């Protein structure tokens, strides 16, 4: 039981570690939640592997503030993300859009999975084909066994 509780506590840790500067937050919790969701979609261009919600860089802070201002003004998520996207391009989106340039990026998992399945199926088929054919020696022994059993 204690172990179970401890496990739950471990899961909960990141939740309160993510709380940022309270001065930055919007007074309306619903809008703050929207702003946070938007922020998690946007890449910090300074640290690059963090979202602007997670980053402590000056530019990330400015972008967080910008996102909150626009959310507070009543803009929807898509419009806010579009605003930032127009300025920083695809790079700022942690989930890049599917375009000709990013096609390979998106298709890689499918290609890898499809390739793997193809390899497995080819090997299996070949294994079956090989198992079906008996060497002359095996054919002779099998005939012997058959005779013995009869």
Using CB under 8 A as the criterion, which residues of the chain lie in contact with another protein when the complex forms?
Answer: 45-46, 48, 58-59, 62-63, 66, 86-89, 91-92, 126, 130, 133-136, 139
Count CA within 13 A, CB hemisphere, residue 47: 16
Please say which residue, 6 or 83, places its beta carbon nearer to another protein. 83
Please say which residue, 76 or 90, places its beta carbon nearer to another protein. 90
Please say which residue, 87 or 124, places its beta carbon nearer to another protein. 87
Task: Return the SS3 of 117.
Answer: helix
Q: For the CB of residue 79, give the shortest distance to another protein in the complex, in Å.
A: 16
**How many C-beta neighbours within 10 Å does residue 133 have?**
8
Taking a C-beta distance cutoff of 8 angstroms, is the pair 64, 52 a contact? Answer: yes
Task: Say how far apart CA 66 and CA 62 lie, in whole Å.
Answer: 6
Q: For the CB of residue 141, give the shortest distance to another protein in the complex, in Å.
A: 14
Please say which residue, 126 or 141, places its beta carbon nearer to another protein. 126
Q: For the CB of residue 140, give the shortest distance to another protein in the complex, in Å.
A: 11
The DSSP code sequence of 20-55 is: --GGGS-SSHHHHHHHHHHHHHBB-TTTSSSBTTT-
Q: For the CB of residue 60, give the shortest distance to another protein in the complex, in Å.
A: 10
Q: Among 44, 50, 56, 136, which Cα is nearest to 88's?
A: 44
Q: For the CB of residue 112, give the shortest distance to another protein in the complex, in Å.
A: 14
What does the block give as tokens for 5? 């509780």
Please say which residue, 30 or 131, places its beta carbon nearer to another protein. 131
């Amino acid at each position: 039981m204690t172990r179970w509780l401890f496990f739950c506590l471990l899961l909960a840790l990141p939740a309160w570690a993510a709380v940022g500067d309270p001065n930055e937050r919007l007074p309306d919790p619903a809008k703050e939640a929207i702003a946070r969701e938007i922020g998690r979609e946007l890449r910090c261009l300074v640290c690059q592997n963090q979202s602007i919600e997670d980053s402590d860089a000056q530019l990330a802070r400015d972008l967080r503030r910008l996102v909150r201002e626009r959310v507070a003004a009543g803009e929807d998520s898509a419009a806010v993300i579009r605003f930032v996207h127009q300025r920083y391009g695809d790079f700022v989106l942690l989930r890049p859009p599917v375009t000709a340039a990013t096609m390979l990026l998106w298709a890689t998992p499918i290609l890898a999975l499809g390739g793997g399945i193809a390899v497995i199926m080819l090997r299996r088929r070949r294994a079956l084909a090989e198992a079906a054919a008996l060497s002359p020696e095996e054919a002779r022994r099998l005939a012997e066994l058959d005779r013995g059993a009869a």
